[in-house]
């Protein structure tokens, strides 16, 4: 099978069979043009007076990330779909092309790898010159799960959402030090590294960029058992990177010493929960630092995805509505907020 590089070299490979009907193979020097006619036409939806917008969505080869790309691209935005696995990312992009969304391009991204982050930033700078929307969706659960035993328990969604399943699942959902480190590095530090790398490009957005951090109800402050920890994470006046880093180091220390309960940490998905609580806190002070941007975090809902072992009842089409709304907020919209799906809620 012959692979053809189309749209943007170094970012997206396709085989001829998955090209949409309206894309015609042209000489290489035409394909690599920065102002590719197919991209421009899709990004403007035929309205040439409209300012073209550029977005990045991480962890976007499946689930909420993929559906977020689809919905944003359907609004005429040029979207860079990113994924750690190149084949899965190109397959997902190919599928969207076949749906007519040729304004989606792929670039490999591993948020754990600084070199990969730098490569993406360089690609965006060279091809677009700026970035208007960043959706930080890539995530890790922080646990090892016996999925067969978990499915056999047949726990209803209300029990999951209320936290009543905490004691029920302790034997089938295990948190190790290694999985916790991976979770924190992905869900918090990875978001932080990528956002900081792309901020210079986001600051060039003519109407003020949108940053969307996909969070979870597991990060809501009222779910944190310890009063002191809850107060630390809720004190916007004193929040900063150093404080959040210190909190996460304390968590890992207590995890290693098997003192999570005494430390006041959440016992349901502990690493995932604190990663999302710190992500929410990061969102708040980032919005405070950049008042010209709209920066929010969003719980997409209890969606049927891999990260919750397909226990959620919501389809991804509904789950993506919150991230998409935050990505496409009108000028003057809310910032520094937590959205429960599509509505502003309490942290």
Please list the active-site residues. 272
Are 86 and 336 spatial neighbours (Cβ–Cβ below 8 Å)? no
The structure tokens listed for 24 are 């015609």
Q: 145, 216, 139: which is closest to 182 by C-alpha?
A: 139
| Pairing state between β 144-145 and 104-108 | unpaired
Inter-CA distances, 214 with 136, 137, 139, Å: 6, 5, 9
Rounded distance, CA 121 to CA 67, Å? Answer: 23
Using only C-alpha atoms, the chain has a radius of gyration, in whole angstroms, of 20
Rounded distance, CA 222 to CA 266, Å? Answer: 10
DSSP 8-state secondary structure symbol assigned to residue 296: E
Residue 187 exposed, middle or buried by CB count within 10 Å (0-12, 13-18, 19+): buried
Are 299 and 321 spatial neighbours (Cβ–Cβ below 8 Å)? no
Rounded distance, CA 139 to CA 306, Å? Answer: 11
């Amino acid at each position: 099978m012959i692979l053809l590089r189309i749209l943007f070299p170094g970012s997206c490979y396709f085989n001829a069979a998955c090209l949409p009907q309206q894309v015609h193979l042209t000489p290489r020097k035409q394909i690599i043009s920065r102002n590719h006619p197919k991209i421009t036409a899709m990004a403007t939806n035929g309205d040439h007076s409209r300012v073209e917008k550029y977005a990045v969505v991480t962890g976007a080869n499946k689930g909420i990330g993929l559906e977020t790309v689809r919905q944003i691209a359907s609004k005429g935005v040029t979207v860079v779909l990113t994924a750690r696995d190149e084949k899965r990312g190109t397959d997902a992009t190919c599928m969207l092309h076949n749906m007519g969304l040729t304004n989606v391009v792929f670039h490999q991204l591993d948020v754990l790898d600084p070199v990969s982050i730098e490569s993406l930033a360089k690609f965006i700078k060279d091809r677009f010159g700026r970035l208007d929307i960043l959706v930080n969706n890539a995530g890790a659960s922080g646990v090892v799960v016996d999925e067969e035993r978990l499915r056999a328990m047949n726990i209803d969604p209300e029990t999951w959402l209320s936290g009543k399943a905490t004691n029920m699942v302790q034997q089938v959902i295990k948190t190790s030090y290694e999985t916790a480190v991976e979770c924190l590095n992905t869900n918090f530090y990875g978001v932080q590294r990528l956002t900081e790398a792309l901020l210079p490009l986001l600051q060039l957005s003519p109407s003020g960029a949108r940053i969307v951090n996909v969070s979870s109800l597991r990060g809501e402050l009222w779910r944190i058992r310890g009063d002191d920890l809850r107060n630390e994470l809720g004190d916007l006046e004193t929040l900063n990177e150093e404080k959040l880093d210190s909190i996460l180091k304390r968590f890992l220390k207590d995890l290693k010493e098997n003192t999570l309960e005494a430390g006041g940490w959440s016992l349901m998905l502990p690493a995932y929960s604190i990663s999302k609580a710190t992500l929410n806190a990061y969102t708040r002070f980032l919005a405070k630092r950049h008042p010209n941007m709209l920066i929010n975090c969003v719980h997409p809902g209890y969606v049927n995805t891999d990260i919750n072992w397909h226990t959620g009842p919501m389809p991804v089409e509904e789950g993506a509505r919150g991230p998409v709304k935050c990505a496409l907020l009108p000028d003057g919209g809310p910032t520094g907020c937590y959205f429960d799906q599509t509505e502003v809620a309490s942290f």
